[in-house]
A = this chain, B = another copy of it.
Amino acid sequence: MIATDAMAASPSPKIRTQLVADRETLMRIFIRPESDASRQTLVKYMDQILFGLHEFLTRHVGVTQEISLKELSKRFTDTHIGQHPERKLADVITDLIENIAPHAVNVASPYFVGHMTSALPFFMVHLKTIVAALNQNVIKLETSKVVSIIEKQVLAKIHRVIFQKDDAFYLKYVQNPHTTLGCFVEDGTLANVSALWVARNALLAPHNNFRGVEAEGLAVAYRAYDIDRLVVLVSRLGHYSLKKACGVLGIGNQNLIPIDVDTNNRMDIHHLKKVVAALHTNTPQTRILAVVGIAGTTETGSVDPLGAIADICHEHGVHFHVDAAWGGPVLMSEKYRHLLSGIERADSVTIDGHKQFYMPMTCGMVYFNNPDLPDAVEYHAGYVIRQGSVDLGRKSLSGSREASSLILDSTLKIMGTRGYGLLIEHGIDTAHEFADEIRKRPLFELTTPPELNILTYRIHPPAAKERMAGPHDAATWNKRLNAITRSVQQLQREAGKSFVSRTTLRGNNAADMERVVFRCVIMNPMTTISILREILDEQENIYHQLDIPLESSTL
């Protein structure tokens, strides 16, 4: 199975054959390293990872020089699996760390402020290791036991942070095998799919002779309810997973209707009202499945006016879903939790553990205000998840699942709400400081100020600002600015020290006024304002070296 010590660096096929062929080797690979030397190699790396995570990542991961993707791809084209081991265990691990990791991305670097993935507290890796070792499968009690109980408890804890029901409510539901306060899913996309799946089935529930949409399908359901279309409403800044959810669920992704945003990138409530009214008047056979409010848009970190959306949903009896994949943990900060005010009136909420709960990839969660609502998606099987059992797989999109709840539960004990509060406040406060810095520098334009810890900006030289004041050639100038920001972002990424991401702000604008911008996500507590200033300095330098005349027609 694995190579013995006698195995040479380039072993002959003959020796390999002997090495894998017997049961003894098979047992050995299951149990412990093949030799002391192998053990020492593993000990060395595990020690570095577990007790010096950030030094390890700084030393081993992250490119300082861009290697072309094409070049990299060429190295990984062999599609044969050897009949016998290619390498010894310790060599494979060494190769992974010394040769592969350097071409991964050091998302833990404080200079990596481009995406919603960042540094982890070092103990998260310990917790993940323990979870992997226990290897419980939370689909059913028989392969998880206490973990299912803890999962229900931690779901109730986070439910309480969101919905703030009273003690009696939580005592009734925390360990109730018949009800579901929430579910762990792979990620935010599947959390959004789960929420809309539940909402769809609750809306098109069994009645009279109709057995419900889950059983009979959408076409029959539409006839049973005399409708011809379901729609979901979300602001123009809604995450693409909502579109995907509508596609997967058979509703059709063109039935995700975009609502305009106001100047703060929040859902325009007047437009929402207008759309709702128009749907009622003009298309009586259209039903609104859900309105989705966003608590932390992916591109700008904006938070929709959740209370106002809740009012409208309540008035029309429509499911109110909040996509708080990003912003949910802001509720842990006393200073900023008011920003999400109204979330407690949602029917369902998405939160990602691998984002601002700082958990390792991946941990999505979906929560339900009414713990009976997920009954609409209940399934059973003969050998597991029997009716009436405690098996958590009865009402979830996935089947087999990792025990992510153990990681979150332990972390809540280690950090407390205040621990998370500090992380959240660092991000938002630093984002405000960074916005001030951008405003001070004439080369830049702050395109969206931070509401949470995300902001966007672009390169906008003073000369261009003057020219764009005149509307006659605004679109042409905008196009040039887009090209400049795009170039600077790419060159900075390729230089390999810092990473700020790039997106295109559409807003309610005409296509020719779409703005290409830098997108900065500040969640790493090691990212300070001085690091952010360095990043701006570097962007200024790159811009000045571009040496492309601003009025060049090639831009």
Contacts of A49 in B (CB 8 A): 129-130, 133
Residue pair A82, B416 in contact (C-beta under 8 Å):
yes
Q: A103-B145, A135-B361, A390-B69 are in contact. Are A188 and B399 (CB under 8 A)?
A: yes
Q: Is the CB of A107 within 8 A of B130?
A: no
Point out the residues of chain B lying under 8 angstroms from A197, CB to CB: 248
| A-B pairs with beta carbons under 8 Å apart, 11 shown | A33-B122, A46-B129, A57-B134, A79-B170, A81-B416, A83-B418, A92-B410, A115-B384, A142-B493, A187-B398, A249-B249
| CB atoms of A213 and B252 under 8 A apart | yes
A76-B175, A157-B79, A398-B186 are known contacts. Are A141 and B217 too (CB-CB below 8 A)?
no
Q: Check A104 for interface membership: any CB of B closer than 8 A.
A: yes
* Contact assessment for A1 and B415 in the assembled complex, using a CB-CB cutoff below 8 Å: yes
| B82 pairs with A413, CB closer than 8 A | yes
Question: Which B residues touch A217, using CB under 8 A?
Answer: 218, 229-230, 246, 250-252, 255
B residues near A423, Cβ cutoff 8 Å: 26
A312 to chain B, nearest CB (A): 24
List CB contacts (< 8 Å) of A30-67 with chain B: 30-33, 39, 42-43, 45-46, 49-54, 56-57, 61, 63
Work out how many copies of this chain go into the complex.
Answer: 2
Q: A69-B141, A103-B145, A193-B248 are in contact. List 19 more A-B contacts (CB 8 A).
A: A1-B419, A26-B525, A30-B54, A30-B119, A42-B51, A80-B160, A81-B160, A83-B418, A87-B414, A117-B135, A128-B132, A135-B360, A186-B398, A190-B397, A217-B250, A217-B252, A219-B229, A240-B380, A361-B400
Residue of B nearest to A211 (CB): B254
Once the chains are docked, how many angstroms separate the CA of A297 from the CA of B474? Answer: 64
Q: Which chain B residues border A82 with CB–CB below 8 Å? A: 412-413, 416-417
Report the stretch among A258-266, A302-310, A497-505 that lies at the interface: A497-505
Does A72 sit within 8 A of B, measured CB to CB?
yes
Digitize A149-164: 1 where CB-to-B-CB distance is under 8 Å, 0 elsewhere.
1101100110111000
Pick the contact of A422 from B23, B161, B171 — CB < 8 Å?
Answer: B23
**Contact A76 B150, beta carbon cutoff 8 Å:** yes
Q: A81-B417, A299-B382 are contacts. A215–B96 as well, Cβ < 8 Å?
A: no
Chain B residues whose C-beta falls within 8 Å of the C-beta of A123 in the assembled complex: 29, 33, 42, 89, 93
Is there contact, CB below 8 Å, between A525 and B125? no
Closest to A38 in B: B123
Binary interface profile of A, 111-127, with partner B (CB < 8 Å = 1, else 0)? 00011010111111111
- Tell whether A27 is near chain B: CB-to-CB under 8 Å: yes
**CB-based contact B219/A100 at 8 Å:** no
Which of B63, B150, B171, B215 is within 8 Å of A253, CB to CB? B215
| Chain B: minimal CB distance from A22 (Å) | 8
Neighbour of A73 across the interface among B45, B87, B149, B364, CB < 8 A: B149
CB contact under 8 A between A214 and B247, given known A92-B413, A133-B125, A418-B83: yes
Chain A, 511-539, contact with B by CB distance < 8 Å: what is the 0/1 string? 00000000100000110000000000000
**Residues of chain A in range 11-25 having any CB-CB distance to chain B below 8 Å:** 16, 20-21, 23
The answer to whether A76 touches B129 (Cβ under 8 A) is: no
A299 to chain B, nearest CB (A): 6
Tell whether A144 is near chain B: CB-to-CB under 8 Å: yes
Determine whether A432 belongs to the interface, using a CB cutoff of 8 Å to chain B.
Answer: no
Q: How far is the CA of A121 from the CA of B503 in the complex (A)?
A: 43
Residue of B nearest to A147 (CB): B104
Q: Measured between C-beta atoms, what is the minimum distance from A448 to chain B in Å?
A: 13
- Contact indicator B134/A129 (Cβ below 8 Å): no
Q: Are A426 and B252 in contact (CB under 8 A)?
A: no
Picked from B83, B135, B171, the residue with its CB within 8 Å of the CB of A77 is B171
Nearest chain B residue, comparing its CB with the CB of A380: B240
Known interface pairs A72-B146, A503-B382. Does A54 touch B78 (Cβ–Cβ under 8 Å)? no
Say which one of A336-344, A401-409, A459-467 lies at the interface with B.
A401-409
B174:A77 contact, CB within 8 angstroms? yes
As a 0/1 sequence over residues 217 to 235 of chain A, the CB contacts with chain B under 8 angstroms (1 = contact) are: 1111010000011100000
Flag if A80 contacts B157 (CB, 8 Å).
Answer: yes
Q: How far is the CB of A64 from chain B (nearest CB, A)?
A: 13
Pairwise interchain contact A216-B254, C-beta atoms closer than 8 A: yes
* Residue A354, interface by CB 8 Å: yes
Q: Does A105 contact B (CB under 8 A)?
A: yes
- Chain B residues with CB under 8 Å of A75's CB are 149
B152 pairs with A76, CB closer than 8 A: yes
Partner of A143, one of B115, B244, B379, B417: B115
> Whose C-beta in chain B lies nearest to the C-beta of A106?
B134
A136-B104 contact in complex given A413-B92, A416-B85, C-beta closer than 8 Å = yes
Cross-chain contact A413 with B86 (CB below 8 angstroms): yes
Chain B: CB-nearest residue to A165: B79
* Assembled-state Cα–Cα distance A369/B235 (Å): 38
